[in-house]
Structure 1
């Protein structure tokens, strides 16, 4: 029996239902697996199972308890996520981020241009809250998203709560980077491994939140995202297919570097925005393009490995046009530019992309 079929991951749901029916849900769960496979939405579903289910494990989706948890308004359920330092975070900005997450639990919580983390003060507040009686629920549930972003002092403070949890508290940690968590934290949690979602399931979830999505575009974007649900929603928001086409044009201009005015006209719009998202996305698509070329050159037959399936003809033509290209060197240059773009000290992304084109030119023509 599943507690919420729409969440997917039936094996993990069955494990939890068995534990729930035996009244043996662990005091601490650690949901881990690749980014964008629905772990945070699943954690919210667990909170609803613990607080809004009848004696048969059927969740009342019309109840006020269910709605409050979904909207992050239930006093016994806390959703913790990385935020900017208090000096850089406005309360209304934090509230707006939470409201966006409530609208779509599969989206990423972002604060453009700001470093985020989970600090000691946040965990201190959680520990204080853990000591209070239940307000109206059956269990207190604290969900910590992106738990790898815990600062060392915050992780140590959380460890104390894991060692001596109140009886009415369930902690759910979520991470896509299990290796970054303290071994002592991992050892005190029951771990649930999550696998990537398939194309059909991702498409079904997207349609719930974007009902008018173009099916052909959606199929292409799911591939480009690497079957990552968070990234799929981001790509739908940010004209990803248009930026992918710009990446291909960028390569053409890099080959014909003497047409520098055309190159500048191409990259200037990408670098006009302060958040640099379009430029970063274009570089991401450059990486995918050459990773696909590597796969094709190696004779990879697994269709799932090729991201630009809808551009297969263009890929083959590009390979034929640049038969001596140094692909590994190109990948290294693009990765280096992504790192440079993410460095706030680099104030001129236009210059970065122009220099990248200059460096790619001999690699694309390598004899």
Structure 2
């Protein structure tokens, strides 16, 4: 049961939600905030289930209603995923249009989830703000965000903030090493994932595997010649601005950021020889600038952009900084 995991791993979030559910004093909008690897999506689904399940407090997670919500097959529940593609104004207007209709389900409550709400366009955020400013009875919003500063402050102020904390990286890494996972995978996934179950899933994920290969190739080539890194990315890199390429590119940026942060600190718990050798080739001062370029690219990637062009801009920026 996910609620048991939430209680163990996220005691603050668990207690806040438990108090609201038991007292039935609900906010009309919830904002689940946590960095990459925290169980934002799972918590959003559990909260939606709990608002509709007949069991008092947290949902049972096994009844027909809970199962249908988990499968996104409940008529008065809308899930918009902003992880792979940007959330558009039309998505928000579509929710409003649907929820202006009479409830299809007997329970009467209507719930929508905006996963990675920070990846909404400005028009979509403005439409969402208008929706939140005039709350409708029995309509609940659940927003998840990784980068809170990209969400309008006026939207933040209209939601109850629920913080989600990431599991300790060193603890995850030690556990992975005991399970004989490759040291580099163990280190990267301890940063990118928030729990053992997610690490296991990502190990088999093609998006992660491709992102790791591209990131390590870029790290090896960048310090020798930014032009060489650029040619490699142009030939082997990310072209589709939607779907898997966007996920790969975001993970690619995350891995580069992990590396540059280690170089800036001048230390790491990673025992992978390829990682340690690569760190010796980089200057901390350069890595501060490189990290800034990665963060800028990640912010742009959250919007609807051309990934191939963004790759070119990223390496060009790094080349400029290196000079």
* TM-score where L is the length of structure 2: 0.70
> What stretches of structure 2 of length at least 5 have no aligned partner?
none
Distance 2:309 2:126 in 1: 36
- Determine which of 170, 184, 194 is the counterpart of 2:140: 170
Greater mean alpha carbon deviation, residues 272-281 or residues 59-68: 272-281
Match of 2:64 in 1: 64
Please give the residue correspondences for 1:216-365 in structure 2 after superposition, counting only pairs within 5 Å.
216-217=180-181, 220-221=184-185, 223-225=187-189, 227-229=191-193, 236-237=205-206, 238-239=208-209, 242-243=213-214, 246-247=217-218, 249-250=220-221, 254=224, 268=232, 271-275=235-239, 285=255, 287-296=257-266, 306=268, 309-311=270-272, 315=276, 319=280, 326-329=283-286, 332=289, 336=293, 339=297, 344=306
Report the 3-state secondary structure (helix = DSSP H, G, I; strand = E; otherwise coil) of the residue aligned with 1:34: coil
Once the 2 structures are TM-superposed, how far is the Cα of residue 191 of structure 1 from its aligned partner?
Answer: 1.3
- Does the Cα contact within 8 Å between 1:54 and 1:60 map onto a contact in 2? yes
Match of 2:39 in 1: 38
Once the 2 structures are TM-superposed, how far is the Cα of residue 143 of structure 1 from its aligned partner?
Answer: 0.9
From the superposition, tell whether residues 32 and 353 of structure 1 become closer, same or farther in structure 2 (CA, over 3 Å). closer
Report the 3-state secondary structure (helix = DSSP H, G, I; strand = E; otherwise coil) of the residue aligned with 2:45: helix
- Determine which of 56, 81, 91 is the counterpart of 1:122: 91
Q: Deviations over 1:167-189 (max 9, x none)?
A: 22111122122223333322222
Q: Deviations over 1:212-256 (max 9, x none)?
A: xx944376435325623389666742425545653564368x28x
Once the 2 structures are TM-superposed, how far is the Cα of residue 81 of structure 1 from its aligned partner?
Answer: 3.0
- Does the Cα contact within 8 Å between 1:247 and 1:285 map onto a contact in 2? no
Q: Deviations over 1:117-155 (max 9, x none)?
A: 321x22222222223333225321111122223334433
Distance 1:183 1:318 in 2: 38
Match of 1:85 in 2: none
- Determine which of 154, 159, 174 is the counterpart of 1:189: 159
Q: Deviations over 1:233-292 (max 9, x none)?
A: 66742425545653564368x28x9xx9xx69x964883355386788667655544432
Match of 2:84 in 1: 110
Distance 1:134 1:313 in 2: 57
Match of 1:16 in 2: 17
**Number of equivalenced pairs:** 300
- Determine which of 131, 154, 157 is the counterpart of 2:100: 131
Larger radius of gyration: 1
Distance 1:200 1:348 in 2: 32
- Does the Cα contact within 8 Å between 1:3 and 1:13 map onto a contact in 2? no
